[in-house]
A and B are shown apart, each in its own frame.
Chain A
């Protein structure tokens, strides 16, 4: 009964992160390499497998398939990069999908019903995304409410407003200028992928190389210590939600350009797909931290498995079972690795 092992006062603070990991040891060993790049290796093996598996080998590595697969990932990737910002600051954000759907309706309604030019409508949609982010951010940062609960409420509320406005009908007749953005190439690469690349570089630069990005990381790591070194944590948490919201708006615009119509939804299935990629990403490259490159690996991992399995004609249940198992395995293994390292 009086045999506690560690004095809690001197024990290092527990990780609050979902993946419960610690960054890897600088000395490379087989196990650290496996831990750090396990998901990357798994992704490569998966690609090789679909390339040689008789059921998919004919179609999987064709340029048309690679292209569609990547093209379809632009939306998810942009949204995941957006979600990364509040997640790095230690804040859950479940408004990803709902916020994106709102953006599709804003652009669709403004262009088809109010005759607002497509470009301007897109800017309004992105600003609206930022405002929605600000609304969640203010409640979370300044009222110190739980982010997961507030954003769950916000997402549900937005889903309801979308139904109210659309009366559960889709909006079609989107201007061709917008749809052609989704369809056209630049230097042989679809334009949405260029946009994704720009967002990737900006978010990567912001999170890795700027003072503000570093401060968000410190807040996510230890909010008390961050406050005590003079970081205005509330302001920055608000900023994280605003930037995340703006990027969900961008993702919504690209979604509209790809699909050509705005369909009502609360976006939760999109949210969970995006968050799955973000969590998978936190198990690789810099295990235990949400990170940009890992997130891309996470997105690609899901994309490749979905694509390969559907080319093989697998039943509907196979893909969610596969992805779900991959998340449980990756996060579980990463947590075990981390624990083994510290004890």
Chain B
């Protein structure tokens, strides 16, 4: 951690405000980030983090009155343009990295700029040389020639960072703004990226970064700014701060640690049996899940955790046998799986789960419309409204009425609607793909509570997650997929982060990291 953190402010924000019709997204926000400091920006969904980043990037104008100073250059916050932001050496890397799979690393670094030319043709040699020089100065060990597609997840983020700081005199001169850089990385990849970021900071890079992963924030950042409802509720060093206190600051009240209330329910009879399932990357997966058991599955990107859930549910063709409660589920037939009591919450809940222009009521009843069916296929509208009103209060969806289109709800509430749709159907088998990706701590605890409540009712649950904390908090048993097979299955008590890292990567990784 750097000593000079407070002496030399690289980024200074004075009384920044931003109002939208009906809401105050940011109110009188001030903060200061020193040279070489890693500052975490945390807060719930809707607390104003994204608005702050957009204002800094110059893509959204702030209310008049605020002032931004970057490395001594000062500007009225209302006047920032993307050009100013770039000239002031503010560099942004978003959660969606915006990289191109099929281009080379060097092309990705320089994409959007005119490539160097010689005699009218692209001068690939000089393009690769310049990319290599940026990567070298960042101490990133990646070849500029290779295709992006061959890179591991953490290296991709580093390539995106290289692109964000290209064209600067010193690669670490500016302020690097990262929006949830580890949200989609498996634990070992996240650790690797964080190590690289710490190295950047040691080299003098100032970093402002947004994350929902509290343990990571505490381990990684020098200092922390907590936003709630657009205002700074805490601005302090991470020394002496623990996760419990931090989540209290974020939510405004105490969040019960979900790990403690975990119940060992794995003793029930087996409800789901998966035998020798082949699909996509999967090459013969066998597993069983008991009534009331929460099975966590994890693996590297591409290990097939999503494919497994989709194959069980019938959203993807498969070979092999899946039985629910002793009865075989036909492959590739979602309707049959739903009728047998299966529920699937996709990873991208809004894109693949929400009907945004339809009402909350229509969204909630989507998976169990059959219950309201009367003669002549008629929908009992009153029963439907009653059921949706009940679900709205049970799952804490904030909306004015069940008739409101889902498009008008906040992102977090849209997610709740999709989840509530499946839980109110009281499924026997609940399949969740990355259930808490991109949600805040409060909502995450709430989702975990509901998943556990479903398990308590006797539902068999499979959670596919790349978030090690979630896996450890939620699962009764953990399965690691590697190379298309179950690499290992273990009870929760035998598992810790180190164990996971070893199993997820297998032995090659261990040998490599020992070298």
Contacts and interface: CB of A to CB of B under 8 A. Distances in A.
Interface of A: 1-5, 7-13, 15, 21-23, 25-27, 209-212, 214-215, 217-218, 221-222, 224-232, 288-289, 341-342
B401 interface: yes
B362 interface: yes
Contacts of B367: 229-230
Interface string B314-355: 010000000000000000001101110000101010111111
Contact of A13 (B58, B93, B351): B351
Contacts of B58: 3
B46 interface: no
A4 B163 CA distance: 14
Contacts of A212: 377
A15 to B, nearest CB: 7
Contact of A228 (B315, B372, B408): B315
B339 A7 contact: no
Given A4-B96, A230-B339, A222 B373 contact: no
A210 B95 contact: no
Given A228-B344, A230-B338, A2 B98 contact: yes
Contacts of A27: 400
A1 B58 CA distance: 11
A25 to B, nearest CB: 7
A27 B351 CA distance: 27
27 contacts: A2-B160, A3-B59, A3-B82, A4-B96, A5-B60, A9-B351, A10-B350, A12-B354, A12-B411, A12-B414, A13-B354, A13-B356, A22-B408, A26-B404, A209-B381, A211-B370, A211-B372, A214-B379, A217-B358, A218-B355, A221-B355, A222-B354, A224-B351, A226-B355, A227-B334, A228-B344, A228-B353
A63 B228 CA distance: 67
B92 A3 contact: yes
Nearest to B112: A1
Contact of B94 (A2, A12, A214, A229): A2
A229 B366 contact: yes
B61 interface: no
A5 B57 CA distance: 9
B407 interface: yes
Contacts of A227: 315, 334
Contacts of B315: 227-228
Given A212-B377, A224-B351, A218 B358 contact: yes
Given A9-B96, A209-B378, A3 B411 contact: no
Contacts of B337: 230
Given A12-B350, A13-B351, A2 B92 contact: yes
B12 to A, nearest CB: 21
Interface in B365-390: 366-367, 369-370, 372-373, 376-379, 381
Nearest to A1: B112
B378 A4 contact: no
A2 B113 CA distance: 12
Contacts of A229: 338, 366-367, 421
B284 interface: no
Nearest to A221: B355
B93 A2 contact: yes
Nearest to A11: B350
A22 B163 contact: no
B357 interface: yes
Contacts of A13: 350-351, 354, 356
Given A3-B57, A225-B353, A225-B355, A10 B403 contact: no
